[in-house]
């Protein structure tokens, strides 16, 4: 009888421990269930003057708070690399696609809500980054200093002796847009071969082996009369023209490129679902249709560009191969540096 009572007490005690353990596991599980996030962290390198209104509109529409971290693209890429084991950001927006390619394994594939409306050549084939605008390179000149007869019509005209030492062009080693120009000039003027590099060598001679300190001087220098012509990114050149500057924009007859300026979701971020909503928002028709107001070029095929922009289909057929360019960037820049120092 005593033994039966003892066994009964043991069973009750074991049952008690089981219940306690079960409650503990339940409580732990409950603690791990996260409530839906109401924020997203955006790493961005675009100018705040045109992106901040769009970001505010996203917040107003969705109620999602956007935590902003602004810095040059290179710094943000380095930050994403450093945080790969514990990402603190959710999105990267700004810079060129070659910057995204070097961290491609740290980006989350995503098929956004507008895939069939966006130009296919403006996104990564694996959907790990998506172009939000197209940034072609253009030639600019000061019409008060350059006659219509002598005005450049393409890359080849930059070899004209009248422009010798009077071309504003940034250093491709330091400037992403100047590097874009180098690649576009190389391939539209012959290719990565003897012909193409002969053109680049002659172009460097006409620069008198001198480059300007920043990409903005590509359009500011000619407008201010310090240079006759310049190579510039389209958005900056158009913005300066519409501010009243003495500047004309030329889309090179040999072609430019549909170089995308992307956005990407950072892999294993803490707010991935909200990051997807932000990508869908930026690539929506109503947001893309506003880009022309800030001199940027939409990536959607159903959005009409401003009249002062050459249509996308007339930018030329040079394909900006991000993978190839990323693999060959150092080699191209080393050849450029050799030409600049006269090797």
Structural tokens at position 336: 């450029």
CB atoms within 10 A of CB 297: 27
- Work out the average pLDDT over 11-31: 42
Query: Cα(264)–Cα(270) distance, rounded to whole angstroms?
Result: 14
pLDDT band at 21 (very low <50, low <70, confident <90, very high): very low
- Which of 311, 335, 299, 3 is closest to 124 using CA atoms? 299
Q: pLDDT grade, residue 49 (50/70/90)?
A: confident
Q: How far apart are CA 106 and CA 79, in angstroms?
A: 12
Distance, in Å, from the CA atom of 75 to the CA atom of 81, rounded to the nearest integer, reads 10
For residues 175 and 206, the model is more confident at 206
Evaluate if residue 22 carries a pLDDT over 70: no
Strand-pairing partners, residue 123, are 130
* Alpha helices, DSSP H, located in 40-169: 48-62, 73-82, 97-101
Is residue 16 pLDDT above 80, yes or no? no
Q: pLDDT digit string (tens) for 69-87?
A: 998 888 899 999 999 999 9
What backbone phi and psi angles, to 5 degrees, belong to 212? -90, 165
CA 248 to CA 141: how far, in whole Å?
5
Assess whether pLDDT exceeds 50 at residue 19.
no
Task: Flag whether pLDDT at 259 surpasses 70.
Answer: yes
149 three-class SS: coil
Confidence (pLDDT) at 1: 47
d(CA 215, CA 25): 59
For the chain, give the number of residues. 343
Token pair belonging to 300 = 């959607």
Identify the H or E element spanning 126: none
pLDDT of residue 37 exceeding 50, the answer is yes
Of 192 and 102, the structure prediction assigns the larger pLDDT to 192
Q: Please provide residue 23's backbone torsions phi and psi, each rounded to the nearest 5 degrees.
A: -65, -40
What's the whole-number mean pLDDT along residues 290-313?
Answer: 93
Per the structure block, which two tokens stand in for 306? Answer: 């401003």
Query: What CA–CA distance (Å, rounded) separates 104 from 276?
Result: 17
* Mean pLDDT, residues 18-42: 55
Average pLDDT in the 290-306 region?
Answer: 94
Strand-strand pairing, 260-266 and 130-134: antiparallel
Mean pLDDT in residue range 40-59: 94
Mean pLDDT within 160-166: 98
Q: What is the mean pLDDT of the chain?
A: 89
pLDDT at residue 30 greater than cutoff 80: no
Calpha distance 115→133 (Å, rounded): 14
Is the pLDDT assigned to residue 28 strictly greater than 70? no
Q: Which of 314, 308, 300 lies closest to 121, judged by CA?
A: 300
The pLDDT of residue 123 is: 93
Nearest CA among 140, 160, 154, 150 for reference residue 254: 154
Model pLDDT for residues 107-144, shown as the tens digit of each residue: 999 999 999 999 998 999 999 999 999 999 999 999 99
Alpha-helical segments (H) within 63-210: 73-82, 97-101, 176-188, 194-206
Distances (CA, A) of 230 to 2, 58, 178: 102, 37, 11
Task: List, for residues 147-157, the tens digit of each pLDDT value.
Answer: 999 999 999 99
Residue 146 predicted with pLDDT over 70: yes
pLDDT digits (tens, 9 = 90+) for 200-249: 999 999 999 999 988 899 999 999 999 999 999 999 999 999 999 999 99
In this predicted structure, what is the pLDDT of residue 74?
83
More confident: 278 or 326: 278
Q: Which helix H or strand E contains 301, and what residues bound it?
A: none
φ, ψ for residue 50, nearest 5 deg? -110, -25
């Amino acid at each position: 009888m005593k033994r039966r009572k003892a066994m009964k007490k043991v069973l009750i005690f074991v049952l008690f421990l089981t219940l306690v353990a079960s409650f503990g596991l339940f409580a732990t599980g409950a603690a791990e269930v996260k409530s839906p996030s109401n924020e997203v962290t955006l790493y961005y390198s675009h100018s705040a003057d045109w992106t901040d209104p769009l970001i505010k509109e996203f917040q107003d529409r969705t109620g999602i708070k956007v935590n902003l971290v602004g810095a040059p693209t290179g710094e943000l890429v380095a930050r994403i690399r450093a945080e790969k084991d514990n990402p603190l950001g959710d999105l990267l927006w700004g810079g060129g696609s070659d910057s995204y390619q070097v961290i491609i394994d740290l980006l989350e594939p995503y098929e956004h809500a507008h895939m069939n409306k966006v130009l296919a050549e403006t996104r990564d084939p694996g959907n790990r980054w998506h172009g939000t605008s197209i940034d072609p390179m253009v030639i600019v000149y000061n019409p008060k200093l350059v006659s219509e007869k002598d005005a450049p019509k393409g890359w080849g005209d930059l070899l004209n002796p009248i422009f010798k030492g009077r071309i504003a062009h940034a250093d491709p080693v330091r400037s992403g847009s100047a590097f874009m120009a180098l690649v576009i000039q190389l391939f539209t003027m012959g290719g990565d071969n003897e012909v193409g590099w002969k053109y680049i060598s002659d172009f460097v001679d006409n620069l008198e082996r001198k480059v300007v300190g920043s990409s903005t001087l590509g359009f500011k220098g000619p407008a201010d009369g310090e240079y006759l012509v310049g190579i510039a990114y389209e958005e900056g050149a158009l913005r300066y023209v519409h501010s009243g500057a003495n500047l004309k924009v030329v889309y090179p007859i040999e072609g430019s490129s549909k170089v995308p300026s992307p956005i990407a979701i950072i892999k294993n971020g803490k707010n991935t679902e909200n990051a997807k909503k932000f990508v869908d928002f930026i690539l929506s028709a109503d947001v893309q249709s506003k880009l022309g107001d800030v001199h940027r070029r939409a990536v959607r095929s159903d959005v009409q560009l401003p009249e002062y922009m050459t249509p996308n289909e007339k930018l030329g057929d040079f394909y900006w191969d991000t993978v190839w360019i990323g693999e060959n960037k150092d080699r191209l820049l080393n050849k450029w540096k050799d030409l600049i120092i006269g090797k």
